[in-house]
Structure 1
Amino acid sequence: MRKRRNSLRYVPFLQKVVGLEFMYITPGKFVRRNTVLAILVCFFGVVFYSQAFGQNIERYRPLELTPPSVQIPEIDREKLDAVTGDDKVLVEQLEAVIVIDHQDKVSKETEIDDLLGVHHKFEATDSLVYGAGVQQIIGRYLGQPITLRNLNQMARDIILHYRDCKQPIVDVAIPEQRITGGTVHVVVTETRIDRIVVQPGGYFDCCELSRWIRCTQTGDRIYEPKLESDLFWLNQNPFRKVTLDFQPGANSGTTDVIFKSCDVRPLRGYIGL
């Protein structure tokens, strides 16, 4: 009987590629070796591919912060009239200014005629009247002749300074007084919030809108950044637009803040093709 020859095959595997030496293997082992080789090739290919993309700085660059898409409605400011008044000299020189917060504090005593510079009878110690801005404005008029036009211009300059400091509603008045000694009282009324009124539209009720009003509080001064913060959150909903309005309060020196909502039915449909 003829002896069957052993069907061994000599298969070289390059040591430089997979680190295996030359060996004699059977056909079954040859298949398994090819499978291992294929897995190794795929593994190293994935690693090199991942490293290539991991080093791509343009691909993984942090996204730039985009500004919020919600536009805050502008807060309307009352337009100031042009300065009027007679240029007739009432007193030769303005010697002192007393800044007060109520007309009842106007002094009729003759001792005020000896005052020089800027003085205060103002309860709110954190008021802008104590700041350098108001001091500089008044200082420009000290030593100048007292005329109605100069007094009105000084009052207007103080109002503009308040607006620049984000307090849009303030009243500055020159009350009736004795000015022959060169001392003038200036009444500055920093309005306070009396009521916060929410006027809803047809689809969102007062409770839904009121819960977003956090910064605007009764009794506070009217401060634009706080109003803008509340308007920002109120206008986050795409189905409504909230604007702001003011009206005189029930008490003297107060203002009602009114949030007006204009909304639409909170329903939106999409069709995809």
Structure 2
Amino acid sequence: MEIIEKAPAKINLGLDIAGKYQDGFHELSMIMASVDLNDYLTITEIAEDKIVVESNNCKLPLNRKNDVYKAAHLLKRRYHISTGLKISLQKMIPICAGLGGGSSDAAATLRALNCLWKLNLSTKELIDVGFEIGSDVPYCIEAGCALISGKGEIVEPLATTLSTWVVLVKPDFGISTKTIFKEIDMATISRVDIPALKEALLADSYENALQFMGNSLEDITIAKKPFIQKIKGRMIKCGADIALMTGSGPTVFALCRTEKRADRVVNSMKGFCKEVYKVRML
């Protein structure tokens, strides 16, 4: 049997660091949204009791360091599955970009194997498993637009019908999320009003939502990579309604109410960075 599963990228409409737990982890308050830039997983059962991961991206590890492998191995071990798997991962989402590609791939693996192996796990059960892999995986199980809190394990889907054009620009360098989080100073970090952003989204008010979007990690990342600020400034100059870094960076996204304006941003950014994508918010 073969299953094909889609894994969409995400952007952070709002990212706030609300505090720090005694165990060293940070308390997150975020609103994420899926965009139609997708990886695709093709999963096939094989007779031999092993997990084989293949990918079109030569930069990805294909062993236990890969989140797809981790997800498959975790479910296989937990539910005593003796058959093996071949997983072909077609990467379209840039890696080390703040777009949640690895987490979305892991979530897609969990969804697909839940179906393939007829495990009948609920969304809550899949989220619990996903959290063992990474803090963004629980959101990626649900996808869509959602409020994420705690350490990433609490996911509240938001019923908003807002959809807009999104331009993604990935500069030719990556950012270590762990490095950025190590530099968070709760006394000085900028804050984002996530409750106000949630209210605007639930009211389907694009203009109000724009006022409350933000990313608490931007200042830290931009201090290390000032080129990110240049990307933001160029996007705004070209007519974007807003330009924000997603996650811990380095990808910047612009929101544009019309496709014509999005095209203008794309055309301007193509000579500035190699990786530019025009997508829709799902």
**Superposition TM-score tier, normalisation by shorter sequence:** under 0.3
Normalised by the length of structure 1, the TM-score is 0.26
Higher strand share: 2
Bigger Rg, structure 1 or 2: 1
Normalised by the length of structure 2, the TM-score is 0.25
